[in-house]
Amino acid sequence: MKFAFIIDPIAKLDPSHDSSVALMEAAQKAGHEVWIAQATQLSAIAGQVRAFLQQVELTPVELVEGNWVVADPWYRLLTEGWRPLEEMDAVFMRTDPPVTMPYLYATQLLDLVDSQKTLVVNSPRGLQAANEKLYALNFPEVMPETIVSQDKSVIQQFVEEQGAGVLKPLDGKAGEGILFLAAGDRNLNSLIEISTRWGREPVMVQQFLPAAAEGDKRIILLDGEPIGAVNRIPTGQDFRGNMAVGGRVAKAEISDREREICAAVGPRLKADGLYFVGLDAIGGYLTEVNVTSPTGIREIDRLSGTRLGETTIAWVEKSRGG
């Protein structure tokens, strides 16, 4: 089979951390062709979506004393050219957020690809519909108390009622722009003004969960079912657990309560074509649903001995009837 991965420039990927590389390696290991393109390299020509595709050959990472060792160089570009995406059996859309207008245009082009010929993961319609922060609001029974607003007095009142809150820009990732809000903080109004760009953009504000100190769990779901998890624990002064801001990763199991969360979210994810997703859970509550380019495979595989990339590629083979 032929697999295409729409990714950020390959030279910037980190094979020891990025799930996209784990998926590409798994496809190669299963004997498939691996091609890459960028979201900016899609064109519709004569009614057909084409991408500037480069075929790659990877040197897989190796686990040495608990750490991934990356070859230098770790990839080699083979042949390239503008080719119809429908030549591919599967396309993984794995461009990093933020979800900008050009990102949405790319998903609208991908939506033209015949789904009988090519499986697009995640489905372009699903990516268009699901904002990573707002999507969790579909599951109030497993979410902490949360508001979304651009109105200063609404946000102030929520923070006063809760005593403390966590503010999240709706287009952020990797801890970017995440703020701890405390009732009575002399900077509170100013923080709200800056984050909402003086009332022009809504933000999410969530009840502060003290359990965040014990970790923010990333749970990977494949076709609605949990397949692995890793915990991210804040270090130093930072209350955020994201790996990108220094969070320490630790081996994790999926608790009964977290399985309940997955059961609440899974059927909707399947229906929306959100096949490869990373849920974030803190203290038994769902805080975020990552659909664009969720990470975690490398950390989970390293700590739990799984091979989630291979699991995912095997699922694609099965759903393509291969």
Ligand X SMILES: Nc1ncnc2c1ncn2[C@@H]1O[C@H](COP(=O)(O)OP(=O)(O)O)[C@@H](O)[C@H]1O
Residues that bind ligand X (CB under 6 A): 144, 166, 168, 172-176, 178, 206-209, 212, 216, 234, 239-242, 280, 282, 287-288
- Which of these ranges, 40-48, 147-155, 273-281, 305-313, lies near Mg ion under the rule CB under 5 A? 273-281
Altogether, the residues listed in the chain come to a count of: 322
Task: For the chain, give the longest Cα–Cα distance.
Answer: 61
Name the E strands within the chain. 2-6, 33-37, 42-45, 48-58, 62-64, 67-69, 75-84, 90-93, 119-121, 146-149, 164-169, 179-182, 203-207, 216-222, 225-233, 248-251, 276-282, 285-290
Q: Which CB sits closer to ligand X, 75 or 285? A: 285
Q: Which CB sits closer to ligand X, 20 or 206? A: 206
Count of residues that bind Mg ion according to CB under 5 A? 2
Among Mg ion, ligand X, none, what binds residue 300 when CB lies within 5 to 8 Å by partner kind? none
The candidate with the shortest Cα–Cα distance to 166, out of 133, 137, 209, is 209
Residues 148, 137: Cα–Cα separation, whole Å: 9
The answer to whether 288 contacts Mg ion (rule: CB under 5 A) is yes
Q: Which CB sits closer to Mg ion, 89 or 280? A: 280
- Which of these ranges, 64-72, 149-157, 280-288, 299-307, lies near Mg ion under the rule CB under 5 A? 280-288
Site for Mg ion, residues 76 to 95, rule: CB under 5 A: none
Among ligand X, Mg ion, none, what binds residue 208 when CB lies within 5 to 8 Å by partner kind? ligand X
> Whole-number minimum distance, CB 281 to ligand X, in Å?
10
Among Mg ion, ligand X, none, what binds residue 241 when CB lies within 5 to 8 Å by partner kind? ligand X
The candidate with the shortest Cα–Cα distance to 133, out of 121, 123, 120, 143, is 143
> Whole-number minimum distance, CB 160 to ligand X, in Å?
17
> Whole-number minimum distance, CB 256 to ligand X, in Å?
21
> Whole-number minimum distance, CB 288 to Mg ion, in Å?
5
Among ligand X, Mg ion, none, what binds residue 258 when CB lies within 5 to 8 Å by partner kind? none
Q: Which CB sits closer to ligand X, 36 or 181? A: 181
Among Mg ion, ligand X, none, what binds residue 144 when CB lies within 5 to 8 Å by partner kind? ligand X
Beta strand 2-6 pairing with 90-93: parallel
| Distances, alpha carbon 280 to alpha carbons 5, 231, 266, 271, 290, in Å | 24, 9, 14, 20, 8
Q: Which element (helix H / strand E) includes 161?
A: helix 152-162
Tokens of 8: 């950020």
The candidate with the shortest Cα–Cα distance to 224, out of 263, 280, 260, is 263
Residues that are catalytic = 133, 168, 218, 232, 240, 280, 288, 290
Q: Which CB sits closer to ligand X, 53 or 247? A: 247
Q: Which CB sits closer to ligand X, 6 or 282? A: 282
Residues 197, 184: Cα–Cα separation, whole Å: 21
The answer to whether 280 contacts Mg ion (rule: CB under 5 A) is yes
8 A C-beta contact, residue 294 and residue 230:
no
Tokens of 281: 């859970």
Burial of 261 (0-12, 13-18, 19+ CB in 10 A): buried
> Whole-number minimum distance, CB 86 to ligand X, in Å?
33
> Whole-number minimum distance, CB 283 to ligand X, in Å?
8
Among Mg ion, ligand X, none, what binds residue 168 when CB lies within 5 to 8 Å by partner kind? ligand X
Binding site for Mg ion (CB under 5 A): 280, 288
